[in-house]
Amino acid sequence: MKSATVEKPLHVAIIGCGWAGTRHAQAFAECGAEVRWAVDVNLARAEALNASLGGGPREMHVTIDYREALADPKVDAVDVCLPHNLHALVSVAAAKAGKHILCEKPIAATLVQADQMIEAAEQAGVILMVAENECFNPLWRKVRDLVQDGVIGRPALLQVTRQCYLTRSFIEERPWFLNAEAAAGGAMMAGGVHDFERARMIIGEIESVYALRAPQRFIEMEGDDTSVALVRFRDGAVGTFVLTFIMKSLTTAAGSEVHTLRIDGELGSIVVEDRNIIRLFSERDDFRLGETLIQHQIYVPEKNTFLLEVEHFIQSVRTGTPPITSGRSQRRPLEIVLAAYQSMRSGQPVRLS
């Protein structure tokens, strides 16, 4: 892997200045990188991102054409925050231009596109990292560590829910999400790619998936607004995933998402229903109070996962070390999501390679 020619600061082009691009740009600025280009088909949005980063001595350009940013020899890396079906087009072009690539999840809309991105990056010797922020969340890393330490014994059942009420957000802020081609699906793609990767990180590899799509209630959206998946892990454990964009509650109506997780094993359980608290019950001797069984509450301070993933990307670029969310590793959650959609269409479980 080649490292960036400019040591300090790293010069970045943000391609796509919407919800994700704005957050990534702020993270790059906090990490000491210089956002040199803001690219968006809506020039006003690119200018707004530029303004949000404040003044200073930096040189900043805005454009509607990503090729202008790729032609700039001072750009070391690009951050692709576009509709899912455009990830491959821009990422392949960036690799051919010798730019390192941070690409929002999912890696692409199809496995063919993902493979094109991986091959282009490897041939060019540049970093390709997928911005899968779940992998950097200290809460899920702590859950993974507890499971791997055998605190609840061998996991048998994983239950995950992703409860969101995003109709207004999608219509007003991210209307491309309403288009099934641009989004490469719906809730299963947008949320499932997160949840399957988190499950792989905590439990292990998924070998089969069976999925169902609920009746459509978010009529402006072409993709699934609510879907459910049942998976079997390679070690025999099973998992259920419920993903919805129309879950109405006092919490979700106020704009917050509710993500829950429960894992049951032979010795106990792990439950997460809060952003930073793990409820742990274990029959293991070292988790008892004398002879008494108790429930533990483990507090994990919340951190900015966008900042953590950007820091990791910069470190990978500086050292040439493959990121933990490399393009090749993040092909798998896309494969699981696409298998889930295949199952919805066929009505049959799909076994993964």
- pLDDT tens for 55-96 read 666 789 999 999 999 999 999 999 999 999 999 999 999 999
80, 91 contact by CB (below 8 A): yes
pLDDT level of residue 300 (50, 70, 90 thresholds): very high
Strand 268-272 vs strand 258-265: parallel, antiparallel, or unpaired? antiparallel
What are the extents of the domains in the chain?
A: 11-132+313-321, 135-305+336-351
Q: Region 123-147: what's the mean pLDDT?
A: 98
pTM: 0.94
Q: What is the pLDDT of residue 5?
A: 47
Within 8 A by CB and 6+ apart from 191, the residues are 162, 164, 243
Give the span between the Cα atoms of 139 and 259, in whole angstroms.
Answer: 12
Q: Region 264-277: what's the mean pLDDT?
A: 95
Q: Of the candidates 61, 56, 65, 7, which has an alpha carbon nearest to the alpha carbon of residue 29?
A: 56
The sign of the CA dihedral 283, 239, 179, 47 is positive
| Domain at 11-132+313-321: CATH code | 3.40.50.720
Topology (CATH) of 135-305+336-351 = Dihydrodipicolinate Reductase; domain 2 (3.30.360)
> Do 11-132+313-321 and 135-305+336-351 agree at the fold level?
no
Q: Is 144 left (phi over 0), alpha (psi -120 to 50) or beta?
A: alpha
Give the span between the Cα atoms of 35 and 96, in whole angstroms.
Answer: 21
7 or 16: which leads in pLDDT: 16
Q: What is the pLDDT of residue 248?
A: 86
Q: What is the pLDDT of residues 179-222, one digit of tens each?
A: 999 999 999 999 999 999 999 999 999 999 999 999 999 999 99
**The pLDDT of residue 263 is above 70:** yes
**Burial (Cβ within 10 Å: 0-12, 13-18, ≥19) of residue 62:** buried
Q: Of the candidates 208, 158, 211, which has an alpha carbon nearest to the alpha carbon of residue 185?
A: 211
Give the span between the Cα atoms of 114 and 331, in whole angstroms.
Answer: 6
